[in-house]
Amino acid sequence: MILFRGLLVFALIGIALRGEVSLAQGEETPFAWEYFEIKGRPAFVILPDESKRKAKIPWVFYAPAFDRSLPSAKDEGWMMRQFLDQGIAIAGVDVGESYGSPEGQAVYSALYHSMLKDYQGDSKASLLARSRGGLMLYNWAANNADKVHSIAGIYPVCDLRSYPGLAKACSAYGLTESQLQVSLPTHNPVNRLKSLAEPGVPIFHIHGDVDTVVPLKENSGLVAERYRALGGSMALEIAEGQGHNMWQRFFRSQNLVDFVVRHAKAPKPNILFVLIDDLGWMDLRVQGNDAVHTPHIDRLATEGMRFMDNYAAAPVCSPTRAAILTGLSPARLAITNHLPDQKRFIPDDPIVLPAKTREHLPLDHITIAERLKEAGYATGFIGKWHLSGPGKGKPEFEPTAQGFDINVGGCGFGGPPTFFDPYRIPHLEPRKVGEYLPERLADEALDFMKIQQEANKPFMLCLWNYTVHWPMEAPKAMLEKYASHQGPGLNDSRYGAMIEAMDSSIGRVLQGLDEMGLREDTLVIFTSDNGGFGGVADNRPLRKEKGYLYEGGIRVPLIVRWPGVVEAGTLSKVPVISMDFYPTLLEAAGLTLPESLDGESLVPVFRQEASLKRESLFFHYPNYAFHRKNRLGSAIRQGSYKLIERFDDGSLELYHLENDLSETKNLVALEPGRAAAMAKELKAWREVSGARLPTRAEGK
């Protein structure tokens, strides 16, 4: 880059067009830009006021027409001001008559890297094309989709055959016309849409009401159809006229500005997903349990949204973990019990025998880690996996085989041999004798996040702690603090010590996010995989515990913090479930959502813009838990009603949770019609899901 830069100040004069929002007539709105050269080509950067700048500055990569070195205050001024007022920078470079050639793309790449290095620009840009600049932007984007938030503009989809024509484009590509014709799949923007559709790059395209792009098959509407068929999202806005007559609409399109702002200001968030093992709904002070001390998680709740009706996908761990990773229900996955299911779990003289369950998560399911890697995320797994088979598990089914870049401690274990170093856990080397496991995993989490921060790379970190699972072990100081803490809220003082020690370790991770400057850019999810273990947790007012379809087995805490999206200190009573995390994270990362999911994105709930479309939640537990005491069955929650169907005798239980959270009054006799309708829906869901069912024991 040539090292000369001048600071120029221009005044923008607002001009009202077509009744759209504009600056007042005669109002001067100055902004400053820097002018310089990149690889001998004129380039510019316009930065927002310092008060509006974030640690990573969102920015628009603007491609004006090739014969204009800079945007015009008169033409683009209103549009540029909208971006700047939102804290979005604008940068661009004139690449001349390069028509998307490799030489021109090299100039674009140089400007991109300059924005990251010299201006702390976001690692993904929002591309904006004016007319012929689309040739360059589309080809650069197709080769650098991981660097693109969105594409917008006027005629941003171009065809070398219609403009400028193959004969004129040959010199830019250094090819003969016949050679360029043969290489169109590589060089022609309209032939490269798949490279943008697969990672989910959204497009907004303005075109004229008399679309004369030649050849006709490549016109705007059909290009949009093709892009959508490939799985991409392309919106069209029609402007009056054609060519230059459309430019004023481009300069003043509020829809275009809103599209660019929405995507530029929403860079893919980092994701910190904290899953605590066996943490019950009442095991936090913020949930109303005064017997425990959880100041860091309580503070997290004040900074985000707390869900009062959040459900684990199953009343035991492995099925819930598989559901989070795939967005599919345990019934559909045929992973319905903690792994491996064992004959010793079957009670004496059973009426029904448990359904068969898989012993690992198959590789043919596309995990959330695999999807996020497509979008350029670094993916880390730290803690309990419990989805790779019996014992220590099989390496071919561990996290690194399911889309995670690193695996610290993830294996087949359902619980640690001990919480103190040496832990004897695969993929977790001893470090310091006596070190407490949650603190060690917190260190590993901080190291992973620091590496990604220094690399300026978005990350998803699954910190799926082994705590507060059995064995009941905690640091000596915590055990002494809780020695007398037994009674309402705790059934075992050691459990209280483990909960506070867990809270302390999570607090360190959250503090580390702040110290790295990542708080504003990180979506934090805190939840549990099933209800509290009854031997140590006091789940009241909920009925029962881990391993039961009653609320004590499946209703668990959920706290979400996402600055700028989730309003601090909010409560939600929307019923949600583990499968919802998969589509939620896809939407947060700007990725397309597959249709065949059992969950629904929670982003509208986060934004308090809408509720969810579904009417019911479903649960299926056709297996015996480790305690051998549960009855096999399925359940459905619909509104405030919950119905449980038992497989041993076909009996039904109907509860109104809003009036009877403790599930003490079976309403089947009072509302037989509702019970029958819900049972019918539950049966239909099992059939659609391919749910495996128990079998009758011999002689029963």
The pLDDT confidence band at residue 644, using thresholds 50, 70 and 90, is very high
Token pair of 107 as six digits: 């100039």
Q: What is the pLDDT of residue 13?
A: 27
Q: How many CA atoms lie within 13 A of 461 on its CB side?
A: 31
For residue 131, give the 3-state DSSP assignment.
Answer: coil
Which pLDDT belongs to residue 173?
A: 72
Q: How far apart are CA 554 and CA 313, in angstroms?
A: 7
Query: What pLDDT sits at residue 487?
Result: 80
Q: Which residue has the tokens 């792009």?
A: 213
Tokens of 639: 């509104």
417 cis-preceded (ω within 30 degrees of 0) = no
The pLDDT assigned to 374 comes to 84
User: Measuring CA to CA, which residue among 533, 549, 551, 532 is closest to residue 541?
Assistant: 551
Q: Does residue 323 contact residue 398 with C-beta atoms inside 8 Å?
A: no
Is the pLDDT assigned to residue 307 strictly greater than 80? Answer: yes
User: What pLDDT, on a 0 to 100 scale, did the predictor assign at position 333?
Assistant: 98
β-pairing verdict for 41-46 and 234-239: unpaired
Q: How many CA atoms lie within 13 A of 660 on its CB side?
A: 13
- pLDDT above 80 for 1: no
Alpha carbon distance 82, 589 (integer Å)? 24
User: Is residue 19 scored above 70 in pLDDT?
Assistant: no
Distances, alpha carbon 150 to alpha carbons 55, 408, 677, in Å: 21, 35, 46
pLDDT digits (tens, 9 = 90+) for 456-472: 789 999 999 999 999 99
Task: Provide the H-helix boundaries in 230-272.
Answer: 247-251, 254-264
Closest CA to 23 of 300, 31, 60: 31
Report the chain's mean pLDDT, rounded to a whole number: 87
Please report the pLDDT score of residue 55 as a whole number: 59
Q: Is the pLDDT of residue 267 over 70?
A: no
Indicate the burial class of 237 (C-beta count within 10 angstroms; 0-12, 13-18, 19 or more): middle
Domains assigned to the chain? 2-261 (3.40.50.1820), 270-342+356-614 (3.40.720.10), 631-700 (3.30.1120.10)
Token pair 């310091």 is at which residue?
432
Task: Choose the weakest-confidence range: 174-188, 192-206, 333-347.
Answer: 174-188
Q: Scanning the structure block, which residue is given the tokens 């709930």?
A: 605
Confidence of residue 23 (pLDDT cuts 50, 70, 90): very low
Residues whose CB falls within 8 Å of the CB of residue 161, separated by 6 or more in sequence, listed in order: 184, 188, 214, 215, 218
Least confident of 140-149, 207-216, 270-279, 645-654: 207-216
User: What's the CA gap between 113 and 36, in Å, rounded?
Assistant: 14
C-alpha dihedral, 409 to 414 to 416 to 419, nearest 10°: 100
**Pick the residue with more confidence: 440 or 38?**
440
CA–CA–CA angle 456, 506, 553 (5° rounding): 120
Q: What is residue 288's DSSP assignment? A: T
Catalytic residue from among 149, 205, 386, 469: 386
Q: What is the pLDDT of residues 371-404, one digit of tens each?
A: 999 888 999 999 999 999 999 999 999 999 999 9
- Checking 166-174 for CB contacts under 8 A at 24+ apart, the result is 168/97, 168/99, 169/99, 169/101, 172/97, 172/98, 172/99, 172/101, 172/103, 172/104, 173/99, 173/101, 173/102, 174/101
Q: Hunting for tokens 């079998």 — which residue is that?
A: 695
Q: If you average pLDDT over residues 315-319, what whole number do you get?
A: 98
User: What proportion of the chain, given as a percentage, has pLDDT over 70?
Assistant: 88
**Burial call 428-452: b when 16+ CB within 10 Å, e when fewer:** beeeeeebbbbbbbbbbbbebbeeb
pLDDT of residue 219: 60
Contact 369, 667 (CB under 8 A): no
**Token pair 């290095």 in the structure block, residue:** 117
Q: Rank 18-27, 197-206, 566-575 by mean pLDDT and report only the highest.
A: 566-575
Unique residue bearing structure tokens 């050849």: 215
Distance CA 98, CA 100 (A): 6
Q: Indicate whether 37 pLDDT > 50.
A: yes
CB 201 within 8 A of CB 232: yes
**What string of DSSP letters covers 362-389?**
-TTS--HHHHHHHTT-EEEEEE----S-
Token pair, residue 507, equals 């607090």
Of the candidates 149, 158, 187, 317, the residue annotated as catalytic is 317
* Integer Cα distance of 571 and 7 in angstroms: 48
Do β-strands 558-561 and 305-307 pair in parallel, antiparallel, or remain unpaired?
antiparallel
C-alpha pair distances (Å), 634 with each of 123, 597, 637:
46, 19, 11
Q: What is the 3-state secondary structure (H, E, C) of 528-570?
A: ECCCCCCCCECCCCCCCCCCCCCHHHHECCEEEECCCCCCCCE
Identify whether the C-beta of residue 617 lies closer than 8 Å to the C-beta of residue 575: yes
DSSP 658-672: TT-TT-----TTT-H
**pLDDT tens for residues 216-236?**
444 667 777 888 888 888 888
pLDDT band at 64 (very low <50, low <70, confident <90, very high): low
Number of helices (H), then strands (E), in the chain: 21, 25
What is the C-alpha to C-alpha distance for residues 280 and 555, in angstroms, rounded to an integer?
8
* Interior angle at CA 276, CA 274 and CA 282, nearest 5: 115
Q: Which residue has the higher pLDDT, 413 or 146?
A: 413
CA 289/CA 311 separation, integer angstroms: 19
Instruction: Name the amino acid, one letter, at 412.
Output: G
* DSSP letter assigned to residue 26: T
464 backbone φψ class: left, alpha, beta (φ>0; ψ -120 to 50): beta
pLDDT tens, position by position, 274-291: 999 999 999 999 999 999
What is the enclosing helix (H) or strand (E) of 352? strand 352-353
Reduce the DSSP state of residue 682 to 3 states and report it.
helix
Query: And the tokens for 118?
Result: 């010299």
pLDDT attached to residue 355: 98
> Hey, how many other C-beta atoms are within 10 angstroms of the C-beta on 664?
9
pTM: 0.71
Beta bridge partners of 558: 527
Q: Is 386 a residue of the active site?
A: yes
User: Packing angle between helix 166-173 and helix 102-119, nearest 10 degrees?
Assistant: 60
* Three-point CA angle 266, 125, 233, nearest 5°: 70
CA atoms within 13 A on the CB side of 327: 25
- Token pair 């700048």 is found at 53
Instruction: Encode pLDDT of 151-185 as tens digits.
Output: 988 765 567 776 667 777 777 778 787 887 887 77
